[in-house]
Structure 1
Amino acid sequence: MKTIYIVRHAKSSWEYEGIQDIDRPLKKRGIKDAYLLANVLKDKIKKPDAFIASCANRALHTGIIFCNVMGFPMANLKISKSLYSFSDGYLVKTIRALDDAYDSAIVFSHDHGINTFVNTFGSKPISHVPTCGVIGIQFDTEHWKNIKSGKTVLKEFPVNHKD
């Protein structure tokens, strides 16, 4: 059994001029949402075996917050340049390449590809994964490279945890 948790990076800021897209930081709201959802996951799931983040500032910062809250060593957070991509295949390739020693992993990535992934591989249709949304999908396989249709086991969005 393999379980993947897909996290869309928290809300980022567009207010800075002259910086490249890859360098855009999180907004204050994004930071709050990342702490909120990390705490929700900490209490709801077993800590994943691997944490992988896109090299983009906003995804990496989201991943660091989750590492901090969930007690995962930041030194073991893997940073992936290929997750900062605007093609749909990057996420599938990243997940299928995971080490089979990991029974679970959490990936911090971007809008492009996440909706396609969760609707292709999950069992519940999800029209849109918002910023800092988390989707968990469990696969009945021993090898990541063999993932096919899975079962959606978690759907957590910030809006569901705010007063």
Structure 2
Amino acid sequence: MKTLYIVRHAKSSWEYEGIKDIDRPLKQRGINDAYLISSVLNKKIATPDVFISSCANRALHTAMIFSYSFNYPLANLKISKSLYNFSDGYLIKTVKALDDSFDSAIIFSHDHGISDFVNKFGSIQVDHVPTCGVIGIKFEASHWKNIKSGKTIITEFPKHYK
């Protein structure tokens, strides 16, 4: 059994002119939502075996807040340049390349790839994963490279708690 949690980065800020997209920070609302959802998730699931984040500032900051809530060492947080891509292809490759010693993983990435991935591999249709939304999918597989359709076990969105 393999379990994957996918987190769309929290709400980012567009207020800074001349800043590259990859460097955009979180808004205060995003920071608050990340603390809220990571706290909710921490009460519902065991700490995932590995935390992996896109290299974008907004995804990394979200991952750091979740790491704090789960007491996961920041030194163990893996950063993936390939997750800073807006298609599900890189997300699929990242998941299928996970080390089989990890039975669970949490990945922090971006909108389009996440929505495509959860609808391709999960059992519940999700029209749009909102910022700081988390989808959990359980797979009947011993090896990450063999994952196919799984069962959606968690859908947590900030609006559920406001």
TM range (shorter): over 0.9
Give the structure 2 partner of residue 118 of structure 1.
118
TM-score (norm 2): 0.99
Rounded Cα–Cα distance in structure 2 between residues aligned with 1:22 and 1:80: 13
Q: Which runs of 4+ in 1 moved over 4 A?
A: none
Give the structure 2 partner of residue 79 of structure 1.
79
3-state DSSP of counterpart to 1:82: helix
Give the structure 2 partner of residue 69 of structure 1.
69
Contiguous gaps of at least 5 residues in structure 1: none
TM-score (norm 1): 0.98
Residues 50, 77 of structure 2: 8 Å contact kept: yes
Measured after TM superposition, the shift of residue 112 of structure 1 is 1.9
Paired residues for 1:14-163 under 5 Å: 14-162=14-162
Rounded Cα–Cα distance in structure 1 between residues aligned with 2:22 and 2:42: 28
Rounded Cα–Cα distance in structure 2 between residues aligned with 1:13 and 1:96: 31
Contiguous gaps of at least 5 residues in structure 2: none
1:6 aligns with 2:11: no
How many residue pairs match? The answer is 162
Measured after TM superposition, the shift of residue 86 of structure 1 is 2.4
Aligned amino acid, residue 8 of structure 1: R
Rounded Cα–Cα distance in structure 2 between residues aligned with 1:85 and 1:160: 28
Rounded Cα–Cα distance in structure 1 between residues aligned with 2:143 and 2:88: 21
3-state DSSP of counterpart to 1:131: coil
3-state DSSP of counterpart to 2:124: coil
Identity percentage over the alignment?
72
Aligned amino acid, residue 18 of structure 1: G
CA RMSD of aligned residues (A): 0.5
Rounded Cα–Cα distance in structure 2 between residues aligned with 1:29 and 1:102: 32
3-state DSSP of counterpart to 2:66: helix
Measured after TM superposition, the shift of residue 88 of structure 1 is 2.4
Measured after TM superposition, the shift of residue 87 of structure 1 is 2.7
Rounded Cα–Cα distance in structure 1 between residues aligned with 2:9 and 2:87: 17
3-state DSSP of counterpart to 2:7: strand
Aligned amino acid, residue 102 of structure 2: Y
3-state DSSP of counterpart to 2:42: helix
Aligned amino acid, residue 75 of structure 2: A
Deviations 1:96-142 (A, max 9, x none): 00000000000000002111100000001111100000000000000
